[in-house]
Amino acid sequence: MNQHIIAQIHEMIARLQQLQQQDGSWRLCFETGPMTDCYMILLIRSLQLPDHEPLIRKLAERIVSTQQANGAWKLFHDQQEGDLEATVEAYYALVYSGYYTADDARLQKAKQFILARGGLAQVKTMLTQVFLAVTGQSPWPDKLKVPIEFMLAPSWFIFNIYDLSGHARVHLVPVMILANASYSIRNEATPDLSELYAGEKLPFSGHPSWIAAIHRLLEAAPFLHAPLHEAALEKAEKFMLDRMEPDGTLLTYSTATILMIFALHSLGYKNRSPVLNKAIHSLSTLLCTNEHKAHLQVSTSTVWDTAMISNALQQAGLSYQHPVIQKAAEYLLPRQQTRYGDWALRCPGTPPGGWGFSNINTLYPDVDDTTAALRAIKPYTFQSPQYKQAWETGLRWVLAMQNDDGGWSAFERESTERMAHFFAFDHAEDIILDRSTVDLTARTLLLLGNEAGQSVTRLPVQKAAQWIIRQQEQDGSWFGRWGICYIHGSSAAVTGLIAVGIPVHHPALERSVRWMLSIQNADGGWGESCYSDIQRKYVPLKHSTPSQTAWALDMLIDTHDRPNEAIDRGVRCLIELLHTSDWRSAYPTGSGLPGSVYVNYHSENWIWPLSTLSKYRRKYSS
């Protein structure tokens, strides 16, 4: 067994050395479904942007290559039949691309799938509704007409933009601008999707909206509406411009950037204006491309990939003096953020010190990337004042971001939940709120325990550990927000708790181990469906994936003094999976937005298996 593990570790180390860029980073694709590719085509065609034909062709090729035999598009391999919103977006983008027509047999099958599921009126997700409305395929839904005047609301008001999560905020503000103006853009090439409405041509199903009622009330009082409206529009415009990254993206998100471009266009910006031109050009930095296909990433994952791969390589035995590790640290150090972002509103008095997810991110740090970067640079703090200062500043920022409940959120300290039920679209709470999560809190404890030397004897650590234990499900598992899902959360929880001194024989940990062993597949591995994320209960994939198998093993190795049959079967399965190239290797085990966005991190089959195999070797080789 050890010989196979050692050979696999050496093979992965060698390949990762080859994949490292000259600047010390790893730039691997952050791959989602067709959504972003579709929106890019809609943007280019709607604004009639020149010189984009090769890109449109590559985006269209990528979209059509993922169509299922029944005509639908899926978000994940085991999704039953297909996804309505993904199919609507793909159909629309392919027809608008100009390289496919509605008469194409493949698109005819897509049309049949859409109509069989109620047509466009049954579209539930906010972004799909927005892009249909902004391109003139439907009226603007009342529930999206959030009065722009809310931009002027004081902090105590029932609706305050800063009570939203950061990612919701930068998507909603451009939508507010567009919806308030009932803006739509069409040209002679815009397809007509009216045939995709089944029965009566309703815009979207849904209940009457209090948001629309307030909007109509304001419009009925012109003496009040006009001055407030103009001031609010100016504030919304400034909000977007203030949050543009130096490269031109809106907080690095391609989706938010595309919405911002439409919003600025609605405010009178021309395609060739410096701001709009820069924003349009910035989207090209988010592309994964090859000879035939292109994919627009939601964001690049360069900082995350670089920090986590560096950590995995260090666990595999590469010294911090190794050039690969040194180059990675030199890449990460200057990407510690020095700008105050919106996070500072609920964390006053704390200087910047976090890292973001993307290489182009300068004002949107997050806890998970910061803890990953701190782990990667820790060895250099003993010999370099610059790294020592970065470590101390980053650790201080992480500790300040702890929520009152003891956990950590992703991007900002948790706000009030008064906005949670204001919006009627699917999974609104997951978009609007940035709550404490078990997986991020547990990985923070991993840093505090293993690198910062802290334990549950310290009150903040104790509070976090107690919060995690309280979140345990009755079956012994934990839900993970940013990975799929209960395997991810349980592994993180157990390893994080052990790192800060919770004993292996704690009843919560023993229950979790029993649960993990009970869901092991016949091939020795582990696999969980994205349906777990939607249904909020464990749903087996019935096949094993590399990252989920590695997560399960990581937890089991931490809780067993010697390898048992389950662990060794899992290791053999993991090594076999790493040499298999099929859908299991590409299954999205990252969660972006439940029911809408699932992520295949191209780095995950490197990071987690290498870390886990290295842990097995270190713990059991003697």
> Residues 83, 142, 366, 368: which is the catalytic one?
368
- Name the nearest CA neighbour of 553 among 533, 575, 538: 575
Task: Give the up-direction half-sphere exposure of residue 556: CA atoms within 13 A in the CB hemisphere.
Answer: 29
Could you give the CA distance from residue 171 to residue 257 in angstroms, rounded to a whole number? 8
Report how far apart, in Å, the C-alpha atoms of 135 and of each of 44, 45, 46, 144, 269 are.
Answer: 12, 10, 7, 15, 17
Could you give the CA distance from residue 168 to residue 164 in angstroms, rounded to a whole number? 6
- Name the nearest CA neighbour of 447 among 436, 428, 435, 460: 460
Letter for the amino acid at 502? I
Mark whether 368 is an active-site residue. yes
Q: Tokens 């466009």 sit at which residue? A: 120
Contacts 24+ apart (CB under 8 A), 102-107: 102/191, 106/64, 106/67, 106/71, 107/71
CB 529 within 8 A of CB 539: yes
Could you give the CA distance from residue 297 to residue 281 in angstroms, rounded to a whole number? 14
CB 603 within 8 A of CB 610: no
Name the DSSP class of 141: P
Q: What are phi and psi of 600, to 5 degrees?
A: -100, 95
Name the DSSP class of 385: H
Report how far apart, in Å, the C-alpha atoms of 280 and of each of 44, 47, 129, 185, 344 are.
Answer: 9, 10, 22, 17, 29
Q: What are phi and psi of 117, to 5 degrees?
A: -105, 20
CB atoms within 10 A of CB 576: 16
| Residues catalogued as catalytic | 368
